[in-house]
Amino acid sequence: MALFRLIGTGGVIAYRALFNWTTPAMFIGSLLVGPIFQLLFFAYLGRQLGVADDRFYIVGNAVLAASLSCVFGGTMAVANERRFGTLGHVLLSPRSRTAVFLGRVLPYAGNGLLIAVSTLTVGALLLGLRVPPEALPALLATLAVAALSCGFFGLTLGALGLRFRDVWVVSNVSVALLLLLTGVNVPAAELPGWMRAVGEGMPITHAAGAARRLVAGEGFAAAAPALAAEAAVGLGYALLAALLLRVFEAESRRRASLDTM
């Protein structure tokens, strides 16, 4: 119980502390409106080139919408502690730092889920997509798994922040790579084999496939394998993040490089 409290309450407190720069207007403008324009950009481009229909872009970009806040949030969960000068205090804690950091992903994943749902709803209303009502619970679960997966991916990048100074470069490039490699905007069949292979190991890829099946009315059974693959990718990043955090924490203590900016 104490562990769950540490994960839950600790995550929420850290979210409020590290996400303190935003205001409601900023949140709506940056995190809710921005992804809608991203969706419209690719939908119109796809329409003009005749690459895929609106459904492809609405669903894909709605899943992708979770990534921005989750990847940057996961990175912030570690990197901003260093920036604000509080990382040492966290690492001095007698409790499990792995649990502390993994718990921080949860509020950001919740945030990402809210953004994905909002983007899907507005995108569907603006471009006229009908989602089968019976698909909604599974679709919500898919978006939640995608958000968690992105959050753990972000935490993995954040763990690099214990070792490298310019971790935001890595985050920016990673978010751009998610656009390219996950098959959200370019159908996977049109990408070279190595790009598809890299995409298979990134968050979003499988969730987008599952969400597209659900919206097409193929049912949960058809989407389940892709959803399971997305969950496996997310779990993989969670384990990788936990490992990197432990290794880099130990190394930063050994090299006395904890607060190096």
Partner 1 sequence: MSLLRMIGVGALLHTKQLSRSPFEIATALIVPVVQATLAVHLFRAGGEPGRLLEAAVGAGLMGVWSSVLFGSGGAIQNQRWQGTLEMLMLAPRPPALVIFPITLSTAVTGTYAMLATLLWGRLLYGVPLTFAHPLLFLVAAPGCVLGLGMFGLLLASTFVLMRNANALANTLEYPIWLVSGMLVPLTVLPGWTGPIAAALPTTWGARAVHEAASGGPVWPSLGICLAISLGCLASGALMMTYVERRARAAATLALA
- Give residues in contact with partner 1 (CB under 8 A): 21-23, 26, 29-30, 33-34, 37-38, 40-41, 44-51, 68, 166, 168-169, 172-173, 176-177, 179-180, 185-187, 190-191
- The residue behind tokens 């959803």 is 227
Closer Cβ to partner 1, 46 or 151, answer by number: 46
Shortest Å distance, C-beta 227 to partner 1 = 25
Q: Is the dihedral of CA 125, 130, 136, 139 positive or negative?
A: negative
**Cα distance between residue 88 and residue 103, in whole Å:** 18
**Cα distance between residue 81 and residue 74, in whole Å:** 12
Closer Cβ to partner 1, 1 or 23, answer by number: 23
**Cα distance between residue 34 and residue 14, in whole Å:** 24
Closer Cβ to partner 1, 2 or 189, answer by number: 189
Shortest Å distance, C-beta 38 to partner 1 = 5
Closer Cβ to partner 1, 37 or 92, answer by number: 37
Shortest Å distance, C-beta 136 to partner 1 = 27
Angle value at C-alpha 112, between 111 and 115, nearest 5 degrees: 90
Shortest Å distance, C-beta 25 to partner 1 = 9
Task: Give the count of alpha carbons within 13 A of 143, CB side only.
Answer: 28
